[in-house]
Structure 1
């Protein structure tokens, strides 16, 4: 009788690619409808038959490095101004003093520390 083969432990096969939800959210990001905030309240929901696209809801901003405020982007994540303000308030960050031209924030996704301009911050506050 031949020797028994050793049994391999069963493992779940690798996924064939992103799920349908991930693909839809990526397309919405590419179109500017959804930002990278996990709790984006401006992006379309599953219940919307035909989403209304407003110019102010499409605008997204990047977080700038602390070393060069107002220029470049800290990471690849972009946010609607209202989503960024909401996420920062939930995380316990605020606008600080109103005399400073830049507001220190952290990216809600990768947690890198950066800044946005006071105008971008106030735009998000007004949109809430």
Structure 2
């Protein structure tokens, strides 16, 4: 029964490397689905988007057409005309809801046909047109 075993290699002397967190495995399934829904125009960047598809509701072409037909807004900077304050896009109702939460129910201030808002994702300040804001208010009340 005499097997031959090779001796263990000697241990390296010196300090052990510091433990570090292993790299993340990537996006979760939910994050991947929501990213694709945003790319398709079905969901806006608001974390609590109430207009995007739901897990409980069956997804049909009728739902897809209704949600993708909804206009999404970008927050424009206050200084340059036409320049976006950030790259995030929102349904008007989602932006109104997020801004009301951020202001704790206080009314927004409209000046020169513009409503001052801050991005719910990155908190960059900018403005949207009063007409676009009013569309969101009406959509929330419906």
Q: TM-score range by the shorter chain?
A: 0.7 to 0.9
1:44 pairs with 2:59: no
Q: Which has the higher contact order (CA 8 A, sep 6+)?
A: 1
1:35 pairs with 2:48: no
SS class of match (1:63):
strand
1:63 pairs with 2:75: yes
Superposition map of 1:71-110 within 5 A: 71-92=82-103, 94-97=107-110, 100-110=112-122
Residues 1:21 and 1:56: Cα distance change in structure 2 (over 3 Å): closer
Aligned residues: 126
**More strand, by proportion:** 2
Q: TM-score, normalised by structure 1?
A: 0.85
Q: TM-score, normalised by structure 2?
A: 0.77
Specify the structure having the higher radius of gyration (Cα): 2
Structure 1, unaligned stretches of length 5 or more?
Answer: none
Structure 2, unaligned stretches of length 5 or more?
Answer: 1-9
Aligned Cα root-mean-square deviation (Å): 2.2
